[in-house]
Amino acid sequence: MRFVGLRHGQSTYNLRHLCNDDPASDVPLTAKGIAQAEAAVPVLQQLGLRAIHCSPLPRTVQTARAVNTRLQLPLRLEPGLADIRSGFDGRPVADYMAAIAHDPLHARVHGGESIQDHFERVCNCLQGLADEGEDNLLLVAHEETLRVFKAWAEGLPVRQVIGLPFDNCKPYFFDSGSV
């Protein structure tokens, strides 16, 4: 399966370094985030994309809709692409990182999911899309989710992608080959 991963545009919580994993929390894009989404369109228009699937969090939905005003593709929300449920919604990312520092891969705090749990959820979603015969998709998601995209497409262990940076609204290209 070939797909393009696109991290959402800059959000208000990105500026404040806060966690957000609750789709009910209205965490919108900033003006810069909207401009980032619009700037991605010329590259995306050249790819012959067939559909957009996005996380249900408002910042990803807003990003997907912004690029889709010009792409005009079918758009589907995919709960499996949601950001990691950190258990720290609305709280500083630094506090979350400190809380999982003892075991970054397996630690679950405040009823959230571990990085391993998130990895498995996103991989199941990707495998489901591949099993449906989906191809040449735009997947609008989150930095942590793009890390999973890389691991899944390249057959890497989750430990190898922890902490990899992915820029807002930069298209990243993945091809899972025979997965």
Each residue of 14-72: pLDDT tens digit? 999 999 999 999 999 999 999 999 999 999 999 999 999 999 999 999 999 999 999 99
Map residue 70 onto helix, strand or coil. helix
Task: Determine the Cα–Cα distance for residues 153 and 123; give it in Å rounded to an integer.
Answer: 10
> How confident is the prediction for the chain on average, in pLDDT?
96
pTM, 2 dp:
0.96
CATH architecture of 2-175: 3-Layer(aba) Sandwich (3.40)
Two tokens at 112? 């959230």
Domain boundaries, the chain: 2-175
